[in-house]
Structures are given as structure tokens and as C-alpha cells.
Amino acid sequence: DGGITQSPKYLFRKEGQNVTLSCEQNLNHDAMYWYRQDPGQGLRLIYYSQIVNDFQKGDIAEGYSVSREKKESFPLTVTSAQKNPTAFYLCASSNEDIQYFGAGTRLSVL
Amino acid sequence: AQSVTQPDIHITVSEGASLELRCNYSYGATPYLFWYVQSPGQGLQLLLKYFSGDTLVQGIKGFEAEFKRSQSSFNLRKPSVHWSDAAEYFCAVPQRGGYQKVTFGTGTKLQVIP
């Protein structure tokens, strides 16, 4: 089945540690996105990529980094510079007007 | 800049009752409009979309929404709510043309009581 796979489902980060969230899609979409979701704040855009080897900062990119080496993959690294990383992270991909979402990764701080 | 407002943070309805979730938008032209649903701990699923044409849009799971330009609204409705409809609902406005940036509302959490 076509879709977006995020892993792991749960992730724990220690102080000063970088962690990477995986996002893979087999929908053949060019564009991919990362959102952060906090209670009562909706979805906030972290990074997006319209094409391989190109990506742009969203509204809250500080403390995060991404890469887009393959069309299918768009991993997100939460760096130690992100002081409040506890949140639910959603990856999406789109074909023109509609975004499709993965099941999310919940990141917590130990 | 485009914006989306969902004035109700939390709504409780009885199973079998009708439902209306409010969404107001601010956009310079005729917008595209979406409604998504999110079950606890899950990603977002597209319920329905409005691009143009008929202002009453049918979606999945028995939901519908009506675009009202005069009120800048795109309210989501369902005639009879089921317990499985308990979830969080997001209204969204995509930026038209070029890169597909989407502005999401802050969501309305629906509780269904027996």
C-alpha cells in the first residue's frame, strides 16, 4: 500500500543529544514537509522540501536540520540546540494541492 | 497573510446528535479549503476538500462542509455523530500556486458521550 512511514513511533532524547526522526514515502510525491504539533497550537511548519537536494526553513526551523538525498526520504534531526523538543512530530508529502500525513513520532526528553 | 480560525477548542455532543464545527478563514482570493481529522496519537486524514464549484462538499465518514464566501466560513457538519467520530478536527487553507504551504487552524477536539 502507498503511504508515509514515520519511525520510531516513540523516541526519547537525553540532554545534549541529537536524535533523528525518519520519514519515508512511496507515493512518488516531490514535496515533503515536517510539522511540530503541541497541544492547542495546531501544526507548525519546521522544514519543507520541494525537490531532491533542496529544502527550505519553515516557521520554526531553529534547532532542527533536514536532508533530502532521495525523493522517498526526508529525515529530521532534532539537535541539542532545540531546548524544548518534547512534541508530536508529523511528516507529510504532497501532490500539488493535498498533503498526506504519516502517523507521527512522539519525542520526549529524559 | 492567510489565516484560519477555529473558535471552538472543545465540543461535546451526544451520540446520534448533529454536529457543526466552525471554521473561518482570511484569504485574499477564493481559497481552497480542507478539513482533516486526527485520532489520538495518529496522523491527519483528509476528510474533504473544496476547490471550486458546488459550495456544499461531501467527504468521507458521512461528513460535509459548506463554503460561504459572504461569511468567510467553511463549517463542517454531520447529521448524526457516532462514538468513533471522537477526534480532533483541523480546518486548513493551502497557499495556491507554487509551493504548497498550508495554514492550519488550532483544531477542535470532539468528545462524544453515550
Sole residue written with cell 468521507: B60
pLDDT digits (tens, 9 = 90+) for B78-97: 999 999 999 999 999 987 65
From chain B, pick out residues whose CB is under 8 angstroms from the CB of A43.
Answer: 44, 90, 104
B50 by DSSP, 3-state: which? strand
Say if CB A100 and CB B46 are below 8 A apart: yes
**Beta carbons within 10 angstroms of residue B55's beta carbon:** 12
Sign of the alpha-carbon torsion through A35, B102, B112, B58: negative
pLDDT digits (tens, 9 = 90+) for A10-67: 999 988 899 999 999 999 999 999 999 998 788 999 999 999 999 999 999 999 999 9
Say which of A4, A56, A98 has its CB closest to residue B49.
A98
From chain B, pick out residues whose CB is under 8 angstroms from the CB of A96.
Answer: 100
Cβ separation of B32 and A97 shorter than 8 Å? Answer: yes
Contacts of A84 (CB under 8 A, 6+ apart): none
**Beta carbons within 10 angstroms of residue B81's beta carbon:** 19
Sign of the alpha-carbon torsion through B7, B55, B103, B36: positive
Cβ separation of B43 and A90 shorter than 8 Å? Answer: yes
